[in-house]
A and B are shown apart, each in its own frame.
Chain A
């Protein structure tokens, strides 16, 4: 870019600003419902000032150090506008509309030199295009951040570990399970076992529609790890589709116990607990009295 061009833009800053703001107000770039004229003027003025600051004859590389303040400003403007309710297009047009105003003034001095006008316009065009796309990047990055945060929150809420009974933990799993979620279930369940000291965990997957190999493997690993910690895992609610997947993928369930429904799994868990209590009494009162003492406890639990 020629020195003259930079000088001209610097010199005619006020006029360019007025022309630009006018164009924004007349075009459909300005949203009257979201910001008033003063805001627009202030924003445009700040941006143009920063733009002129970085404008120098040699440097058009927007990734360079000199452009950092300007890029930061565009990011801030976009974020502010997104919060107010501007669309991505409107934020981008704010930057792109500057092009027209600059062209208008460049035309006045390079009127006699069309080739020079063309090259100057080309560089300016490229520069503003680069700057304009930053608004898109910012907009998308913000949205991605929101999605990431929501996904994390959903993940937190989606895997409750509940205490079903004294000594029994329940893990109802609902929805699709990807490997990230199954990893989280694994961590949460094992930590819950460690914290509570409960020795039976029922994983209910009746609310899971599909299960891929990796996830199935993960659940089995969870079961194996729980066994190593001294707890028993019971998997309940395996749907026909999932049962077929497990068989066709040739996954070995090993020692993991499976039950049809959650209620059957709870019954089984209570039986395991009762057996232990029975045995305790047996040790206490000797072998002969065990049957009655044991029975009374079984009755107590089944009530």
Chain B
């Protein structure tokens, strides 16, 4: 059976979807991501969909779920390289995904994730600093 590879890249996970994605594959990907996140304790997920020609409402929801689940597990998700046609379709479907971070390519995506992660770390540090003084 098909499986979408999940690559570990430092404290990030890189997932490149290179085939047309169907429902069962999407659900499997969701489970795999959750397990890999736990294993490596990653802080960010890059979901590269630049070679996906079509995304339907179900896949849109899967992507939303990936972002929510990884958010709960303390990892930021960035969707990278969405095709114009896909973007138009999702907007027409009303799936504007306001809670998801997006980037134009993997390079920008990594930058964005690093920015977010350092920002979160800093907040944690200041939180701890405040606690220490107490």
A residues with a Cβ closer than 8 A to B are 186-187, 190-191, 193-194, 197-199, 221, 224-231, 254-255, 276, 279-280, 282-283
Contacts and interface: CB of A to CB of B under 8 A. Distances in A.
Given A194-B83, A229-B87, A199 B104 contact: yes
Contacts of A283: 114, 118
Interface size class of B (residues with CB under 8 A): 20 to 34
A193 B91 contact: no
B82 A228 contact: yes
Residue among A186, A224, A230, A254 with the highest chain B CB neighbour number at 10 A: A230
B97 A228 contact: yes
A280 B111 contact: yes
Nearest to B50: A194
Nearest to B60: A228
B9 to A, nearest CB: 15
Contacts of A231: 104
Given A227-B96, A229-B87, 16 more contacts: A190-B84, A199-B104, A221-B91, A225-B84, A226-B87, A227-B102, A228-B82, A228-B86, A228-B87, A229-B82, A229-B83, A229-B84, A230-B105, A279-B111, A279-B114, A279-B115
Given A199-B108, A228-B79, A193 B84 contact: yes
B104 A198 contact: yes
B103 A230 contact: yes
A225 B92 CA distance: 9
Contacts of B115: 276, 279
Given A190-B87, A225-B91, A230 B109 contact: yes
Contacts of B103: 199, 230
The 5 closest A-B pairs by CB, nearest first: A190-B84, A225-B87, A230-B104, A230-B103, A230-B102
A153 B36 CA distance: 53
B96 A228 contact: yes
Nearest to B115: A279
A227 B105 CA distance: 13
Interface in B51-98: 79-84, 86-88, 90-92, 96-98
B91 A228 contact: yes
Contacts of A229: 81-84, 87, 102, 104
A194 B86 CA distance: 12
Contacts of B109: 230
Nearest to A283: B114
A4 B109 CA distance: 88
Contact of A186 (B79, B86, B88, B97): B88
A226 B82 CA distance: 9
A279 B122 CA distance: 13
A283 B90 CA distance: 34
